[in-house]
Amino acid sequence: MAPVRLRHPKGVATINVPFDSDTYTVQDLQQEIYAASQILPSRQSLKTGYPPRHLDLVPELPVSSLGLKGGDQLIVGEEAEPASRSNSAAKVDHKPPAPVAASSPPSSASSNGPVHVTTSDGSVLVHRVVPDDNSCLFASVALIFEQDMSKAQKMRQIVAEGIKKDPVTYNEAILGMPPSKYIDTILKPLTWGGAIELTILAAHYRTEICSVDVETGRIDQFTPGTDGGIGGMRCIVVYSGIHYDAATLAPMVDAPADWHQTMFPITSTDTSDSILVAAKKLADILRSKKAYTNTATFDLKCEVCGKGLKGENEARAHAEQTGHTRFGEY
């Protein structure tokens, strides 16, 4: 038995998984997740790693097929429809964007402007690209909350303070390392952020952060706790598999930055909210342009020692063994 941490919409839990058992299946794991989260197995979506990657759930296979190990953290979400059962099923879901109705203004990206979609009220949701410098998550959130992406380091400091203030939630089991070490690591400009950082920043700014995944169109909602729900506010970040950008609303695609709206009133707690509908359309356009990376298979090179690596798992293992945290994609 080995512990696995669960972070689900209702809180945090730890379950023990017999990874060395040939009879303990993915379905058995899903049943334990159901007991902790009350999310039906058919509607469970699981992510793990930093940045988070989706797990393909085939209930009949042994749990070892997921590539998990003791101490890993699973981020549990709920699908609106039954989750895919295999790689082939998942591929069916990755459709190109549907044609825009003739009565709707076009969604596009001109050669002279950013990718954008036109919303129901005539505004445009614009893809705001931030530098690819390992601080993209923090720069995106800084652009949204501080209107200044250069304040990325301030976002890191907020995360560090959030961990210090809540040692019960952000303990060694959840963080995967002693909190003091995690804080030292996340304060370094070259360290990636992920679900833990988005959760803390959502709570700090009392604003729901919605991360739309380009490859799948999924939206992960990081809620601020008691300040969330209808009547609260939300914002949008766009996740490509290895990079975060922001999405903001403007009266026209070439509007000055100070005309952009970065936070939006929550009108629905599900993805039928008009701003989330627009965010999914934005992901459709980016997906059609292949603007995403599959983190399980992409080729990386350690920029410290030059070693070639395949996928996020090898990069994470290399970082743990060597302390090297600078990677570039081939």
Report the 3 state secondary structure along 219-263.
EEEECCCCCCCCCCEEEEEEECCCCEEEEEEECCCCCCHHHCECC
Instruction: Indicate whether 276 belongs to any domain.
Output: yes
Residue 154 exposed, middle or buried by CB count within 10 Å (0-12, 13-18, 19+)? middle
Pair (52, 190) in one structural domain: no
Instruction: Indicate whether 99 belongs to any domain.
Output: no
pLDDT of residue 76: 87
Per-10-residue mean pLDDT of the chain, 330 residues long, equals: 82 84 87 86 82 80 86 81 33 28 33 79 92 91 96 97 95 92 93 92 96 92 78 92 92 89 89 90 91 68 82 74 68
Count of alpha carbons within 13 angstroms of residue 317, beta-carbon side = 12
Pair (144, 26) in one structural domain: no
Pair (121, 246) in one structural domain: yes
User: Which residue segment(s) compose the domain that 322 sits in?
Assistant: 299-329
pLDDT of residue 117: 94
Pair (40, 151) in one structural domain: no
318 is catalytic: no
133 is catalytic: yes
Pair (56, 166) in one structural domain: no
Q: Is the dihedral of CA 100, 105, 106, 107 positive or negative?
A: negative
Residue from 8, 116, 127, 243 carrying the catalytic annotation: 243
Residue from 116, 127, 136, 318 carrying the catalytic annotation: 136
CATH of the domain at 127: 3.90.70.80
Work out how many domains the chain is built from and give that number.
3
Pair (325, 204) in one structural domain: no
Instruction: Indicate whether 23 belongs to any domain.
Output: yes
116 is catalytic: no
pLDDT of residue 40: 82
Report helix, strand or coil for 301: strand
Q: Count the Cβ atoms, other than its own, within 10 Å of residue 183.
A: 20
Instruction: Indicate whether 81 belongs to any domain.
Output: yes
Is the pTM here over 0.85, yes or no? no
pLDDT of residue 161: 97
Pair (80, 48) in one structural domain: yes
Residues 25 and 246: their CA atoms lie apart, in Å, by 38
Residues 127 and 248: their CA atoms lie apart, in Å, by 7
pLDDT of residue 248: 96
Pair (137, 279) in one structural domain: yes
Pair (241, 132) in one structural domain: yes
Q: Is the peptide bond before 178 cis (omega within 30 degrees of 0)?
A: no
**Side chain identity, residue 245:** D
Instruction: Indicate whether 293 belongs to any domain.
Output: no
Instruction: Indicate whether 57 belongs to any domain.
Output: yes
Pairing assessment for the beta strands 219-222 and 233-239 based on DSSP bridges: unpaired
Residues 300 and 279: their CA atoms lie apart, in Å, by 29
pLDDT of residue 295: 59
243 is catalytic: yes
Cα–Cα nearest to 63, from 103, 28, 32: 28
Instruction: Indicate whether 105 belongs to any domain.
Output: no
Pair (197, 236) in one structural domain: yes
Nearest-Å Rg of the Cα atoms of the chain is 20
CATH of the domain at 58: 3.10.20.90
Residue from 20, 93, 94, 133 carrying the catalytic annotation: 133
- Classify residue 43 by its DSSP letter: G
Cα–Cα nearest to 154, from 172, 165, 141: 141
Token couple for 110: 């001109």
pLDDT of residue 326: 64
Residues 62 and 23: their CA atoms lie apart, in Å, by 7
Q: Is the dihedral of CA 169, 35, 226, 241 positive or negative?
A: positive
pLDDT of residue 153: 97
Residue 289 exposed, middle or buried by CB count within 10 Å (0-12, 13-18, 19+)? exposed
- Sequence-distant (6+) residues with CB within 8 A of 184 are none
Instruction: Indicate whether 95 belongs to any domain.
Output: no
Pair (198, 283) in one structural domain: yes
Pair (212, 314) in one structural domain: no
- Classify residue 146 by its DSSP letter: H
- Classify residue 265 by its DSSP letter: E
